[in-house]
Structure 1
Amino acid sequence: MLVALLLLLALSNEVRVNGDSDGRQCEVNPALKPRPHTVSILEFGAVGDGKTLNTIAFQNAIFYLKSFADKGGAQLYVPPGTWLTQSFNLTSHLTLFLEKGAVILGSQDPFHWEVVDPLPSYGRGVEVPGGRYQSLVNGYMLHDVVITGNNGIIDGMGLGWWELFSSHSLNYSRPHLIELVASNRVVVSNLTFLNAPAYSIHPVYCSNVHIHNVSISAPQESPYTIGIVPDSSDHVCIEDCVIATGYDAISLKSGWDEYGIAYGRPTENVHIRRVHLQAYSGSTIAFGSDMSGGISNILVENVHLYNSKSGIEFRTMRGRGGYMKEIIISDIEMENIYTAMAATGYCGSHPDDKFDPNALPLLDHIILQDMIGTNITIAGSFAGLQESPFTNICLSNVTLSINSVSSIPWECSNVSGFSDSVLPKPCPDLETLSDCLSLLSIKGKTAVM
């Protein structure tokens, strides 16, 4: 068994050497150069009293700053104050800077939120068929966008939206705080995000996204609020963040059933490190269940997970298609987690009746290593599909302290893999050495670390 573990660790080192950008996207930090032009939102008639609607001021300021795109870009400065607004769109080569004491406040009136088309990889609104409310801060096909500040705040005032969702009264799917679509070179940093109607930060179809030093919070009773959602995006870094939400803290996605399969854009080359995560009713780090475009080449390291229903969870179901593979999760500390690790092939719903029930998802080549946990109820729950079992689930150096509530620390079906130095002892399904040694066939850019 020791020989096997050494081979597995050697493999991890080989993958680090051969992987894309050493697999560590966060090492490729963008250099943020000062913009040569700066204007204040005050110059466009904005009033920071928390009552005056400032949408036109934001729109006019950003329209004006578009003229500096070919001159090194520009910065929109938001000074201390409470700036009530509807949705507004950013432009390329722009920095939106929120000073300390500045609060961008989302209007609570749904009539103030424009309705936009569903994302093509979802085919419809996720919560309600049809369109969806446009998010508070938006960007489409942009390049070189920075949303930052001196710990300013973006507050979605989500209570009204949560009540509409819970009472099944939504006309369209809920908006997010920030959504950037088909954009490249995006930075979100040094801000606090509060009370998102649904997601706080949603990069979709994006490349080269760096999210760091942000704080995200939503009450534990807020329904299906999620912190950061990399969605059909690549080369993403999430680091040095603190997130506490009602559902998932970080959730990786890539489209829904036949729409995600047809769109065919995976989430890949994602690096998550040095984050503190809490997810009241969901998972601190979730993969799926909307993963029809595929999720691969993911590195998660140096993470603290606490006071949550689930620690690390892979979700999928029949009809999803797609894959989740070449994922390495290491150096994890867990406290007060009900289920430390989970993977299920029975999670989610379908957008309509046009999905292909024969589109089976693949879950393969997952490494979970160097993990400790205290006050854990269930160490692991792995339930693959009979037609498409979960394979090559590799565990090493995992020590979980199980509380007295637990009667069965492990639950396994239709799964195979390898384990070494794992306490409590896992299911026999996770002691098949040959499965994980097949990882040695991974070469070059198909590897993560």
Structure 2
Amino acid sequence: MERIDDKSRKKFAKYVSLNILAMLGSSCYIVADTFFIANGIGADGLTALNLAISLFSFIQAIGLMVGIGSGTRYAVSMSRGERETGSRVFSNAIMAGIAAGCLIAVVGLLFAGRIAEAIGADQVTKGMTSTYLKVIMFFAPFYIVNHTIVAFVRNDGNPKLATIAMLAGNFSNIILDYVFIYLFKWGMFGASFATGIGPVISICCLSAHFIKKQNQFKLIKTRFLLHTVADFCKLGISSFVNELSTGAVIMIFNFLFLGLGGNTAVAAYGIVANVALFAVSIFTGIAQGIQPLVSDYYGKSMTGQLKAVLKDAVVVALVLTAAIVAFSNLFNDGIVALFNKSGDPLLQSIAKEGITIYFLGFFPGSLNIVLAGYLSAMEKAEKGFIISLLRGLVIIAPSAWLLSRFFGMTGVWTAIPVTETITLLAALLMLKKTIYPPLSSSETPQLPV
């Protein structure tokens, strides 16, 4: 049985714990938005937020694809002593991130209203949804660049600073949420503006890595190399689809719940989905935490260490999942009540059922997230992509629609554990073929004559 040595285990614990903290902090600002909007603006504001978050996931997905993909390529390059390549990858990642972010910002300024209508906003929620989208999309360049620099700083041996920067940005958002919504009475504009300032503060914190000259990478004068961008985007595609799947699921569920229970059902789903972000952020933190280790071991062909890291990651994911599911069932009523200031019994009932069923999907879902990140960190991007695509679009959409036809809202909730379980079976098959590939004819052992 493969075992990880004490030094590597300490490194594993450090990277994983710091990334879990960072991702928890990242999810905090969305949950804070949910809490402050639910209690400061009301159920209609909560519905508008949940509609807008589906598009916000697209911005985050691009940031993660560029950041995780380029960070993975940087880690592999540095493990092979290719320092110049690392700086070239960083420079192209920053250029690509700024270009994509500016394009999103322009689209948001011009078409936020039409986008709000397209994702399901009605006359009651259109104005608030449009406002939130316009501000969030304006800050898209900062989101994407922040994800990129965080990934490079983490892969450059400074996960502590990467974590501090993310936490600083996210907790400043929580404070500003309170100030802008409750004190300044800025409503949805205040909530979105507070969220947009977060990555700006994070980038300022990350600049310490360069000021103290701890960086092994730097911006260099280079042409925009499309093949370089395509290469690291390929490595980050599973992260892209993984995050985009969150937005896709939210959008699909929004339309289904609108048809089954109107704005109240969408608001209830918003509570469940945003609370679930805490759990998803933990599993994403595990996947991102093992990425530098897996990329390094892969670059050095340390097969035993690769298997040991995967084993530890799976154990941590399952233990944390069990704790999350137990906690959510014990305190189901109280969790929902935090976001239901008016005490709406229908909102309470729908959200309670959602938490009970939805969270069961974390048992297979946590492993899917870890396995997708693990395979991508080994330059098996296509397999990570397939896992993310299965759980994000291919299975969830038809299963949610089909189950809702037979079981109504209960069927929509049940689609999550069903989808994650089917995906896990496919993921385990791909993992087996990666770790234990079939022997070619030339490698097949021959019996002695």
Task: Pick the TM interval, shorter chain.
Answer: under 0.3
* Higher percent of residues as strand: 1
* Higher percent of residues as helix: 2
